[in-house]
Amino acid sequence: MRIQRFIAGRESEDMEHYTPIYVNTSDKSVLVIGGGRVAERKVRGLLQTEARITVVSPLLTPTLEQLHQESRIEWIARSYRNGDLRGAFLVYAATDDLHVNHAVVQEAEAGAILVNDAMSSGNSSFITPSVVRRGRLSIAISTAGAGPAAAAEIRALLEQQFGDEYETYLDFLHQMRMEIKSRGLPPTVRSTLLRRLTEMDILDTIRTGQFQWWSEEKIGNWISRNQEEM
C-alpha cells in the first residue's frame, strides 16, 4: 500500500515540470533493469547513441540475447540488487514488477541518478519521447501521458511531413555553416548568409532530384555575391 500511495501522489504531478532536453550519452554508462519487451524498446532507442548499455535481468528477449552475443550490450544475468546503479549516468526501470521498479527509482534518487520508470512516468526524473529522425534532424514527441497510440499517430504525421530530403538539406546547411564560419566573417554577416540559405528553394531541388552538392568555388562565389548585396 505504501508504494501505491507513493506512485499515486507522484502521478498527479504536472508534466510541465519536465524540461525538454537532449542528453549526450556517448560512452556513458546506461543501465536497463529488466529484459523483456519494454526493456528491449529502451535498448533499441539507445543503440545509436554509443552509450555503454548494461541490462540487468535473469532472462532476455531473443533480440536482447542477440545484441549481447554481438557485444553491443553487457548482460548481468540475475535480478536487480541494491547497489547495481553505482556509476550509472542514466537508468531505466523496465521490469514488470512494481516493487522492483520502485526500488530502482529509490536507489537512483538517493544517488542523484536520472531514472525512468517504464510503469510510471510520475515516478521518473526523465521520460523518453517518441522521436522522428532524419539525419541531423530529430523531433521529439511527448503526449504527457495521454497514451502511446496518440504519440505514434503524431509521429506518423511528422514522418510524412519531414521526409528523407531533410537529411540531405541539413547536411548541406551544416556544410555551408562550417564553410562560412571558417572565413572569419563578422557574426552579423554569418547570420545574414545563413538566413539567406534557408530562404532558397534547396528543399524543392532535393525533392525533385536535381540537387548537386556545391563545389568550393560555387560556395565562395555565393558568399562573395551575397556579401556585396548586403
- Greater confidence (30 vs 119) lies with 30
| pLDDT at residue 33 in the model | 98
- Greater confidence (88 vs 21) lies with 88
CA distance 215 to 217: 5
| pLDDT at residue 4 in the model | 40
| pLDDT at residue 15 in the model | 56
4 burial level (CB within 10 Å; 0-12, 13-18, 19+): exposed
| pLDDT at residue 14 in the model | 54
Three-state SS for 52? strand
CA distance 168 to 53: 30
**pTM of the prediction?**
0.75
| pLDDT at residue 7 in the model | 39
Supply the angle between the helices 165-182 and 216-228 in degrees, to the nearest 10. Answer: 70
Of 61, 59, 107, 109, give the one whose Cα is nearest residue 82.
107
CA distance 194 to 226: 11
Judged against a pLDDT cut of 60, whether residue 151 lies above it is answered with: yes
To the nearest whole number, what is the mean pLDDT of the chain?
A: 89
